[in-house]
A and B are shown apart, each in its own frame.
Chain A
Amino acid sequence: MPFGLSRRAGWLALAGVFLLTGLAVAGWTVFRDSEKPPAAASNTATGTPSAQPLDSPRAAALSEQLTSGDEARIRAVLAMPSGQALEPAAAEQLASLGSISFDLATFTYLDGRTAQVQGTVATPPAATSPRWTFTLLHVGDEWKLVDGRPNA
């Protein structure tokens, strides 16, 4: 990995890491000893979708819980560390979105267990588009939200 290297070399290194991380992740299991491999390493090795696409009931649950204003319910749909505290204003700000209508036809896999989907928020923040792009991670047996941002 770059160790005092130039920015260009750093990007080259990163590109190399991206290209070969799949191989590395698979190889990791050969070399591992006490450490635990990533939970779904086998899924990422191939990039083949291993989860069903986002469906309407789950999409409705994502919308309802993310905008509930309740931290526990937000945690249930937002992929985040279990012990991590939310910023004090976060729950209220997420609730200010009103609701989210996911356009399931736009669901696209990024790799075996990540995807992106378009959606429309009912009350977008000032000067932002109501159309958002959401990034999803398949955790356990269900999709969780990793990221969401207004489209440019």
Chain B
Amino acid sequence: MRLPGALTALLLAAGLLTVPSAAARAAGCSGNSTKPSANQSAGRRPVIFVHGWTADGNALTGTGKALAERTGKRIQPFYFDYGTNSTTWAAHVLVAGCLADYIAAVSDAFAKKRGGDRKVVLVGHSMGGLASLYAARDVKTTDRIGGLVTFDTPYLGSPFGNTRVAEILQRSVGGKLIPPIGSDAQVCLGQHRDGAGPAKGCAGVLPPFLPVAAGVTTIAGDITVKRTFGPFHVYDVPLSSDGIVSVDSQHGYLQMRRKADWPKGQKIRLRNATCTTTNDSMIRTLTAAGGGGAIGATLEIIAELKVDENALDGLLADRLTPALVVYLGVAAMTAECSHTKVTSHGGALDQAAEALKEYLDLLDPGTTVRDLKPVTSAGRVAPGWTAVDAPDAGGLDCSFNSASPSARKGDIYYCSPSAAAADACWVEAGGDSMLCLQDPMGRTVARLWMEGSVGAMQPSGPARYSGTPLPIRLDLDSGTRCRLRNGGSWDAQESDPDLAGFYRCDNGEAVWAKQNSPGIDRSSKTWTVRTGKATGGLTKRKVRTAYYVATAD
């Protein structure tokens, strides 16, 4: 019976698991997924939700909304829908292949909106987690996945795949709620571990690991049945399962393969979403359903389940009886962290939100502030820097003791004229010249000489500070580098005459802001600026690194 099924799976696999033409793939990717360009925002990271077996793109909308709230709306949910193929195994090109296409499309739309990296984060429920891994095989997704969170994914299979009882139940229930006998889904869901490969007859290969840079968080529904008698607590039965998939399998991302093949340095978080149901509520569910012949067998399970010596694991692995199936099924229907409910379980959502926030922080670490220190406190060029004599700019005047606008402390001066680009200058040892950081992109300081008689235009006292310092250099998330403006006449920005150019960027654009404003929005940990040319619109950009000037020891 199983052999023909396996053969069928193999034949199917020979035709279907190979990569089809783009046209065939496009025709099969017909789900009602969120449009990749919908609601894209530079400030919100796309998170793609991937549903599980027999579900569709609507299954995780509540989860997406809840996680958007829990992450302070730092994510933009996208719902991948493979409902028309949702009873096909995750590795199939009409699931994983279509998901890879979708990841690329969402990633491209995000990059178009925001610039910079193209990374998206994936959240998969059940088989959706495996589909996410299979999708990562596609070369177009390799550098686009910034992390993965899975709810109740059967990394090591499930007793509901490729077992005798699964066969019996499938024959009894029919349809596709249980993977059809002999289908690649039914066979591939069989239990496996330590690189043993998917169950014999599964034409698919084991899912690949994600690239090491992408973190993986596995969230496992873990039901405990509280055995009560009236209001009294008699004992607990920890199922170590969500009713469908064991906790071991839900956390089995690494254990899919041999230890020698595990990825080095990948951050993997294992989190449990625990909950309790009572035998009382299970019995009520059973009796309300009429039960047929199931009640006696199921109550016997209640009476027999042993929680010591991993007896339950043994039952799940080797002796999954129909009565135990019903018992687990009733537990799954009554427990809030069960396989079908975990994506709306408060504890699971908290765990997922925590993981997402960590991934968001890694992908958007905020603005880094650094100091450029080209000159020592003794007035000498600091190690790693060189000084060159600047062309004569008509003499330098530093006698008004103004502090550099890019210094936060110390005697670093602003000198005139502006044409000398002398807005960050130190008195050089010897006292008759200044060392000025004209080009904050390089490692050279310019030696400029005083105007008139030697020493006449030197600073006469400590630098005087006023206003909020502005970085001398900004590195933006687009890769553009911008230098603080130092005087000069600039065109106005056509969209608003009150805007002034604050920085000149190496792509020909400028950083614009209201004339009397701080120039940079520092209201969040990632600073932002608005960039563009004098004509045309402006784009909000994140500041990756801001450089001030300081004096070396």
Q: Which of B162-170, B345-353, B479-487 contacts A (4 or more CB under 8 A)?
A: B162-170
Asked if A98 lies at the interface with its beta carbon under 8 angstroms from chain B, I say no
- B-facing residues in A18-47 (Cβ within 8 Å): 18-25, 27-28, 31-41, 43-47
Q: Given A1-B244, A27-B168, A149-B280, decide whether A132 and B52 contact each other with a Cβ distance below 8 A.
A: no
Asked if B126 lies at the interface with its beta carbon under 8 angstroms from chain A, I say yes
Q: Which of B27-35, B112-120, B332-340, B425-433 contacts A (4 or more CB under 8 A)?
A: B332-340
Alpha-carbon distance A46/B293, docked complex (angstroms): 7
Asked if B179 lies at the interface with its beta carbon under 8 angstroms from chain A, I say yes
Q: Are B169 and A3 in contact (CB under 8 A)?
A: no
Q: Are A10 and B340 in contact (CB under 8 A)?
A: yes
Interface size on A, residues (CB 8 A): 77
In this complex, the interface size class of chain B, counting residues with CB under 8 Å from chain A, is 35 or more
Q: Are B292 and A90 in contact (CB under 8 A)?
A: no
Q: Are A38 and B323 in contact (CB under 8 A)?
A: yes
Alpha-carbon distance A17/B494, docked complex (angstroms): 70
Alpha-carbon distance A103/B164, docked complex (angstroms): 43
Which B residues lie within 8 Å of A10 (CB)? Answer: 332-333, 340
Q: Are B341 and A3 in contact (CB under 8 A)?
A: no
Q: Are B232 and A1 in contact (CB under 8 A)?
A: no
Asked if A114 lies at the interface with its beta carbon under 8 angstroms from chain B, I say yes
Alpha-carbon distance A80/B174, docked complex (angstroms): 34
Asked if B329 lies at the interface with its beta carbon under 8 angstroms from chain A, I say yes
Which B residues lie within 8 Å of A23 (CB)? Answer: 172
Alpha-carbon distance A80/B235, docked complex (angstroms): 10
Asked if B229 lies at the interface with its beta carbon under 8 angstroms from chain A, I say yes
Which B residues lie within 8 Å of A40 (CB)? Answer: 296-297, 300
Q: Are A44 and B294 in contact (CB under 8 A)?
A: yes
Asked if B77 lies at the interface with its beta carbon under 8 angstroms from chain A, I say no
Asked if A110 lies at the interface with its beta carbon under 8 angstroms from chain B, I say yes
Q: Are A35 and B318 in contact (CB under 8 A)?
A: yes
- A-facing residues in B268-303 (Cβ within 8 Å): 279-280, 283, 287, 289-297, 299-300, 302-303
Instruction: Specify which of A13, A18, A31, A93 is in contact with B291 (CB 8 Å cutoff).
Output: A18
Q: Are A81 and B307 in contact (CB under 8 A)?
A: yes
Q: Given A1-B169, A5-B55, A18-B290, decide whether A83 and B308 contact each other with a Cβ distance below 8 A.
A: yes
Alpha-carbon distance A11/B299, docked complex (angstroms): 20
Alpha-carbon distance A53/B295, docked complex (angstroms): 17
Cβ of A9 to closest chain B Cβ, rounded Å: 6
Chain B, residue nearest A135 (CB): B283
Instruction: Specify which of A3, A12, A25, A135 is in contact with B179 (CB 8 Å cutoff).
Output: A3
Alpha-carbon distance A85/B306, docked complex (angstroms): 10
Q: Are B177 and A2 in contact (CB under 8 A)?
A: yes
Q: Is the interface of A mostly helix, strand, loop or mixed?
A: mixed
Alpha-carbon distance A93/B233, docked complex (angstroms): 9
Q: Given A20-B173, A39-B300, decide whether A81 and B306 contact each other with a Cβ distance below 8 A.
A: yes
Which B residues lie within 8 Å of A46 (CB)? Answer: 293
Q: Are A144 and B303 in contact (CB under 8 A)?
A: yes
Which A residues lie within 8 Å of B553 (CB)? Answer: none
Cβ of B185 to closest chain A Cβ, rounded Å: 8
Cβ of B188 to closest chain A Cβ, rounded Å: 11
Chain A, residue nearest B173 (CB): A16
Cβ of B401 to closest chain A Cβ, rounded Å: 70
Q: Are B178 and A147 in contact (CB under 8 A)?
A: no
Q: Given A87-B235, A90-B234, A135-B299, decide whether A81 and B305 contact each other with a Cβ distance below 8 A.
A: yes
Asked if A150 lies at the interface with its beta carbon under 8 angstroms from chain B, I say yes
Q: Are B296 and A110 in contact (CB under 8 A)?
A: yes
Chain A, residue nearest B152 (CB): A4
Instruction: Specify which of A1, A97, A137, A150 is in contact with B300 (CB 8 Å cutoff).
Output: A137
Asked if A59 lies at the interface with its beta carbon under 8 angstroms from chain B, I say no
Instruction: Specify which of B158, B289, B291 is in contact with A3 (CB 8 Å cutoff).
Output: B158
Alpha-carbon distance A25/B168, docked complex (angstroms): 9
Which B residues lie within 8 Å of A128 (CB)? Answer: 230-231
Q: Given A28-B322, A40-B300, A110-B287, decide whether A5 and B52 contact each other with a Cβ distance below 8 A.
A: yes
Instruction: Specify which of B152, B168, B235, B318 is in contact with A28 (CB 8 Å cutoff).
Output: B168
Alpha-carbon distance A37/B319, docked complex (angstroms): 9
Alpha-carbon distance A81/B306, docked complex (angstroms): 6
Cβ of A18 to closest chain B Cβ, rounded Å: 5
Contact with A along B43-69 (1 / 0, CB 8 A): 000000001111100010000000000
Alpha-carbon distance A89/B501, docked complex (angstroms): 76
Cβ of A96 to closest chain B Cβ, rounded Å: 9
Which B residues lie within 8 Å of A28 (CB)? Answer: 164-165, 168, 321-322
Q: Given A2-B332, A21-B297, A24-B168, decide whether A147 and B279 contact each other with a Cβ distance below 8 A.
A: yes
Q: List 25 A-B contacts (CB under 8 A).
A: A1-B160, A2-B340, A3-B244, A4-B51, A4-B54, A6-B59, A14-B289, A14-B330, A17-B329, A18-B291, A20-B173, A21-B323, A23-B172, A25-B293, A28-B168, A40-B300, A44-B293, A79-B300, A83-B306, A89-B232, A94-B232, A128-B230, A139-B303, A146-B283, A147-B279
Q: With contacts A4-B125, A147-B228 known, what are 12 further pairs, Cβ within 8 A?
A: A1-B178, A5-B177, A14-B330, A17-B169, A18-B289, A21-B322, A22-B294, A28-B165, A35-B321, A40-B297, A112-B296, A146-B279
Residues of A within 8 A of B (CB): 1-7, 9-25, 27-28, 31-41, 43-47, 78-87, 89-90, 93-94, 97, 110-114, 116, 125, 128, 132, 135, 137-139, 144-150
- For the complex of A and B, the 3 pairs showing the least CB-CB separation, nearest first, are A4-B52, A4-B126, A79-B303
